[in-house]
Amino acid sequence: MSNIDKATVAKIARLARIKIEDEKLEPLAGELNNILGWVEQLGEVNTDDIQPMSSVVDAKLRWRQDEVNDGDKADSVLKNAPNAEYGFFAVPKVIE
Amino acid sequence: MSDLTKLKIAEARDLLAKGDLTSRELTEAHIAAVEAADPLNAYIEKTPEIALEQADAADAKIKAGDASGMTGIPVGIKDLFATKGVHTQACSKILDSFKPEYESTVTQKLWDDGAVMLGKLNMDEFAMGSSNETSFYGPVKNPWRAKGSNNDFVPGGSSGGSVASVAGYAAMGATASDTGGSIRQPAAFTGTFGIKPTYGRCSRYGMVAFASSLDQAGTITRDVRDGAIMLESISGFDPKDSTSVDIPVPNFEAALTGDIRGMKIGIPQEYHLAGMPGEIEALWHQGIEWMKAAGAEVVDINLPHTKYALPTYYIVAPAEASSNLARYDGVRYGHRNVPDNGGLVDMYEATRADGFGDEVKRRIMIGTYVLSAGYYDAYYLKAQKVRQLIADDFKRAFEKVDAILTPTAPSAAFAFGEKSDDPLAMYLNDVFTVPASLAGLPGSSVPAGLDSNGLPLGLQVLGKAWDEETVLKVSGVIEQAAAFTSQPELWWR
């Protein structure tokens, strides 16, 4: 099932937004194939009619009133930003 | 008392209550021990000023007759618990200089009870590792050394700093977290008691997320009673965590009756691994004899899907991690790298390339792959189905037994570098701990003996959901039978 080549690693890296140098793609393909080859033993398990687990404990997600219960702390939110200006997170120019 | 750092939490609590000891004295002794423990690299941030302030407040609390189990007790905090204004990076470079504006619920509960923070503890980066070798701040050394040797061993992981600080008498207890065994395996490697409660027992609010359906807080202490005291302090419903469950927290210490007569203890036959060291088998057998001697009935049980737990975990956990760690993009907090003339996507990619370590990148990549179009059903959905079968195995077993006894890890502590080049060999460390994590069940590791090199070994006790009391009770019986009094030599002091 899994045969990850250099091009696939480059694609995954792009999806994950992690820059991977060209010479690292091949070794990484080997590592990922090893791990995914090992997990493929799950194919042996018959899972027909089995529902995928959606919650690990038997507990219903709670409802709460739809009302504001926190907020008004922009300074606090921005405090750890690498770059904040005029009450906003600042990033490199996106639109020319 | 000559060395206050050798006290256990319960002993210190009683001395504090009688007025024979102040939290300030206890805290000062521990601050000195933390300083002296630098060679272990357990603490990556020390907070002596906060500790002394909290100690004085605790002394006032005790005087006012308002003390509880953790009042005045100096503890270490794993670096993935958010502590307001104090270093919180899950030992990753990507959270460089992040200081949270809020407090995690687990730590807030400790402070509300009057506990004292000594500092933040080293760990595998984002809790991804089983040896504490993936930390941005370097590895932690196990306080234990083999007989007649000066070679260093790993403390286990991911809670390596937590166990090293407690085993090394540089904290009376420590918070830890368990995703696939990160409390129990390092506890086994260091002769400490580790307990991971039922998923939903402790709030995950303010814990740096790794795999949200698995992550659960817990504690590391030097004995079972201390574990019961500290676990009770951090447990309880929290509206800020949607998966926190609203059920009462029992008095855990009261569960330590030592009486397991008539209790049924299950021995899962699938945990007899081919190639497991004879010493581990022998310890397990010894544990079974202890159970019988204490009047429990030992029953062979089957958990047929055991061998599929690790591969299931290594799909589910990376999948959740790839999603959780998407938030580290250099925009809102932590490290940022903008290449010359680079745009927004260049910034994301460069920031994440140098902010994450190799193991974290590997897991994000696997997670991204198994969730990507065309592979989701084959990997992720399949794994969630097998996960259900693993949980069903436990459910069936617990219709017949009250607790399950297994070894904690397939080996004692190993040397640095021994497994770090081979991800699969490293993953196998968690073979006995991962199944219960996938099922959300409570589990502990109790120090039970030494191997032929003089390194600690642990036994694992697993219980039904919400039945930490039985886990603690059985752990207490093992502790008493094992009479584990060995201590590491204080070579670093």
CATH at residue B85 = 3.90.1300.10
What is the rounded average pLDDT for all residues in chain B? Answer: 96
pLDDT at residue B384 tops 70 = yes
Contact B308 A41 (CB under 8 A): yes
pLDDT computed for residue B160 by the predictor: 98
Per-residue 3-state assignment (H helix, E strand, C coil) for B140-200: CCCCCCCCCCCCCECCCCCCHHHHHHHHCCCCCEEEEEECCCCCHHHHHHHCCEEEECCCC
Which of B46, B78, B464, B473 does the annotation list as catalytic? B78
Distance CA B397, CA B386 (A): 17
pLDDT at residue B445 tops 80 = yes
Which residues in chain B have Cβ-Cβ distances shorter than 8 Å to A10? Answer: none
**Site from A80, A88, A93, A94 to mutate, B interface, most B CB atoms within 10 angstroms:** A80
Contact B424 A35 (CB under 8 A): yes
pLDDT computed for residue A10 by the predictor: 97
**Band of pLDDT at residue B275, cut at 50, 70 and 90:** confident
Average pLDDT over residues B172-183: 98
Q: What is the pTM of this model?
A: 0.97
| Residue type present at position A2 | S
Distance from CA of A35 to the nearest CA of B (A): 7
pLDDT computed for residue B108 by the predictor: 98
Tens of pLDDT, residue by residue over B215-265, are 999 999 999 999 999 999 999 999 999 999 999 999 999 999 999 999 999
Q: Which residues contact B237 (CB under 8 A, 6 or more apart)?
A: B203, B244, B245, B246, B247
Q: Quick check: B32 and B18 in contact, CB under 8 A?
A: no
- The verdict on residue B449 lying in a domain is yes
Per-residue 3-state assignment (H helix, E strand, C coil) for B91-149: CCHHHCCCCCCCCCHHHHHHHHCCCEEEEEECCCHHHCCCCCCCCCCCCCCCCCCCCCC
**Band of pLDDT at residue B424, cut at 50, 70 and 90:** confident
- The verdict on residue B426 lying in a domain is no
- The verdict on residue B390 lying in a domain is no
Q: Distance between terminal CA atoms of chain B?
A: 18
Q: Which residues contact B477 (CB under 8 A, 6 or more apart)?
A: B258, B260, B290, B291, B294, B296
Number of residues written out for chain A? 96
Average pLDDT over residues B426-450: 96
pLDDT at residue B379 tops 60 = yes
pLDDT at residue B268 tops 60 = yes
pLDDT computed for residue A2 by the predictor: 64
- The verdict on residue B20 lying in a domain is yes
- The verdict on residue B393 lying in a domain is no
- The verdict on residue B41 lying in a domain is yes
Tens of pLDDT, residue by residue over B10-67, are 999 999 999 999 999 999 999 999 999 999 999 999 999 999 999 999 999 999 999 9
- The verdict on residue B76 lying in a domain is yes
pLDDT at residue A1 tops 70 = no
Beta-carbon count within 10 A of A72 CB: 7
Average pLDDT over residues A82-95: 92
Tens of pLDDT, residue by residue over B307-361, are 999 999 999 999 999 999 999 999 999 999 999 999 999 999 999 999 999 999 9
Q: Which tokens sit at B259?
A: 């009486």
Give CA angle at B434 (B433, B440), nearest 5°: 100
The single residue listed with the structure tokens 């004692």 is B412
Q: Which tokens sit at B57?
A: 């407040």
Tally the domains of chain B.
Answer: 1
- The verdict on residue B51 lying in a domain is yes
pLDDT computed for residue B157 by the predictor: 94
Tens of pLDDT, residue by residue over B97-145, are 999 999 999 999 999 999 999 999 999 999 999 999 999 999 999 999 9
Residue B322 a catalytic site member: no
Contact A50 B388 (CB under 8 A): yes
pLDDT computed for residue A94 by the predictor: 83
pLDDT at residue B96 tops 60 = yes
B422, closest residue in chain A (CA to CA):
A31
Residue B233 a catalytic site member: no
Which residues in chain B have Cβ-Cβ distances shorter than 8 Å to A56? Answer: 199, 213-214, 391, 438-440
Contact A91 B331 (CB under 8 A): yes
Which residues in chain A have Cβ-Cβ distances shorter than 8 Å to B421? Answer: none
pLDDT at residue A96 tops 70 = no
Residue B486 a catalytic site member: no
Domain residue limits at B201: 4-261+444-482
Q: Residue B449 half-sphere exposure, CB side, CA atoms within 13 Å?
A: 20
Q: Which residues contact B466 (CB under 8 A, 6 or more apart)?
A: B198, B201, B247, B442
